[in-house]
Amino acid sequence: MSKEAILAGKTVLGIEFGSTRIKAVLVDETHEPVAMGTYDWENRLENNIWTYSLEDIWQGLQGCYRSLKEDVQARYGVKLTKLGALGFSGMMHGYMPFNSQGELLVPFRTWRNTMTAEACGRLTPLFQFNIPQRWSIAHLYQAILNGEEHVKDITFFTTLAGYIHWKLTGEKVLGVGEASGMFPIDSRICDYDQKMLAQFDELVADQGFSWKLREILPKVLPAGVSAGVLTAEGARLLDPSGELEAGAPLCPPEGDAGTGMTATNSVKVRTGNISAGTSIFSMVVTEHALSKVHEEIDMVTTPDGYPVAMVHCNNCTSDLNAWVNLFEEFAGKFGMKPDKNELYGTLYREALTADPDCGGLLAYNYFSGEPVTGLNEGRPMFVRTPDAHFTLANFMRSHLYSAMAALKIGNDILLKEEQVKVDSLMGHGGLFKTPVVGQQLMAAAMNAPVTVMDTASEGGAWGMAILACFMTEKAPGETLPDYLSNRIFAGQSGTTIAPKAEDVAGFDAFIEKYKATLPAEKAAVEGLRN
């Protein structure tokens, strides 16, 4: 069936540009992956700016697509020459400004750059809306504040996904979720916030630019609409061999947040997802905008334009992993070589027998700075009272709590202060690999049920392919949440764990001590300089 779908040009392609890997996923009419391609790449620090060159971008895209073609050939013995639809996603935010000749005016400034503090410090109070440093508008305004010569020549600026889409279709557009990382979105109209656009133009009026902000921003499109077709030139850019036919429709380009929401069926109001690995973040789809600005919370949108409150924390499992490695080293001294997965499972499960508040033990997992708690640098730290209930169970639970603590602080603002309602959360990432443990403690942190699916999806690239499928398959009036629930995730099984009252109370008690002891963590940063 897959071979026939490929030959008939009915397969759909999603490609996502991640920080270290570009991934392509080809799906058939059942929405299952039938082939994949990858290409590893890495950003570079040039003149103190994290960037990828245009050569990097095109080599990466073409290398990833070539890898996909080779996978199709190896699996099915046929060439991939025609697609039913496709779409591109990438790391959100960043800054790619172009002039009227389509030339990139400065090297691509990625989301990783933290050079826009002054711009954010002015835009956030002006808009009464949190503008993080990685957002595209922050980069544009910082360039203006810096007096950079190129700004007057801008006729268009966009993100990485928007750039790829433009070059393959000729269309200067973005999906609304991706656009929400460039400039604030008004979900009521599924477009840039009109008042804030006017405020920005007034702010820079004295510069005498020939452009207004809206004129140089990409057009905003919701999921489900056509965003252009693959041109002959675009087909050659994607597949220099010339074997790929032009004409396939493209859906709006999206960001990795939007594809993550799609891939975890977390686009419905009052749902969300939590990704927990080296870093940790949550995205909750809210029923309305927040009542005031919270610098701990970024407001973006779903691919169909609903407001999403995002809490992003830099630190999650790195310190946990370090302690597990220490236990592994200790076991080795006695001639034991435990299986790593078994070691993690044993230690994690022990935490479920601990005191709900960790019995007087406290840990900070800060390998790096943590903006949510005001730390520019981190120092992993463990501390306890002399009369603490110092057991292995409490030790492990304190470190698992610590991995979730900054996320809980951000979400406590969302759930307690802003009274945002959450019916369900989807958990994914390494923290949830050991069954039950991560789920149960995360449910306590968020005071909401947490579900982990039995089978992991192919991630953002698969989510992008599903958004392209939605464009071609949706029935009149069918919404993205209904499409995902009824056609993509129907029948899939998973485990859901509801919060236990004693765990919720215990985590709340832990977090109060955690916040009260933050000055000690800050002192450790100052006292332990390299």
The CATH number covering residue 65 comes to 3.30.420.40
Residue 176 inside a domain? The answer is no
117 & 201 share domain: yes
Which segments of 15-95 does DSSP mark as H helices, in order?
54-76
Whole-number average pLDDT of the chain: 94
Biggest distance spanned by C-alpha atoms of the chain: 73
Q: Both 424 and 283 in a single domain?
A: yes
Report the alpha-carbon distance of residue 396 to residue 389 in Å, rounded: 12
Cβ burial 436-462 (10 Å sphere, 16+ → b, else e): ebbbbbbbbbbbbebbbbeeebbbbbb
More confident residue, 140 or 290: 140
Shared-domain flag, residues 153 and 105: yes
Task: Looking at the structure, tell me whether residues 111 and 133 fall in a common domain.
Answer: yes
Whether 276 is in a domain gets the answer: yes
HEC letters along 321-367: HHHHHHHHHHHHHCCCCCCHHHHHHHHHHHHHHCCCCHHHEEEECCC
Would you state the pLDDT for residue 458?
61
Is the model more confident about 491 or about 454? 491
Distance CA 210, CA 410 (A): 41
Please report the pLDDT score of residue 329 as a whole number: 97
Portion of the chain with pLDDT greater than 90, in percent:
85
Cα–Cα distance, 68 to 52 (Å, whole number): 22
Same domain for 272 and 328, yes or no, is yes
Closest by CA position to 300, among listed 193, 405, 377, 390: 193
- 10 Å CB burial of residue 201 (0-12, 13-18, 19+) is middle
Q: Domain for residue 174, yes or no?
A: no
Residue from 286, 70, 334, 39 nearest 180 by CA: 286
Residue 456 has pLDDT above 60, yes or no: no
Q: What is the DSSP letter of 30?
A: T
In a domain, 178, yes or no: no
Number of domains in the chain: 3
- Judged against a pLDDT cut of 60, whether residue 442 lies above it is answered with yes
pLDDT the model gives residue 112: 83
Residues 376 and 327 in one domain: yes
Q: Is residue 168 part of a domain?
A: no
188 with 337, same domain? no
Same domain (yes/no): 229, 258:
yes
Average pLDDT over residues 456-468: 85
The SS3 of residue 374 is: coil
Give yes or no: residues 204 and 321 share one domain: no
Tell me if 175 is assigned to some domain: no
Residues 253 and 350 in one domain: no
194-201: average pLDDT: 98
Q: Does 334 reside within a domain?
A: yes
What percent of the chain stands above pLDDT 70? 99
Count the helices and strands in the chain (H runs, E runs).
18, 22
Mean pLDDT of 61-76: 98
425 and 451 inside one domain: yes
Query: What sign does the CA torsion over 229, 93, 183, 276 have?
Result: positive
Distance between CA atoms of residues 135 and 119, nearest Å: 10
Calculate mean pLDDT across residues 307-321.
Answer: 92
Is 134 part of a structural domain of the chain?
Answer: yes
Per DSSP, 476 falls in state: T
For residue range 9-63, list pLDDT tens digits in order. 999 999 999 888 999 999 999 999 999 999 999 898 898 899 999 999 999 999 9
User: Does one domain contain both 303 and 341?
Assistant: yes
Domain holding 229, by residue range, is 1-90+225-264+460-499
Mean pLDDT of 72-89: 97
pLDDT in tens, 387-430: 999 999 999 999 999 999 999 999 999 999 999 999 989 998 88
Q: Kindly indicate the confidence band of residue 113, based on its pLDDT and cuts at 50, 70 and 90.
A: confident
Q: Which residue has the tokens 């929401």?
A: 261
Q: Which tokens go with 400?
A: 């698992």
pLDDT of 530: 66
Q: Strands 219-221 and 173-175, how do they pair?
A: parallel
pTM of the model as a whole: 0.88
In sequence order, the 6+-apart residues with CB closer than 8 A to the CB of 497 are: 436, 439, 440, 443, 449, 450, 451
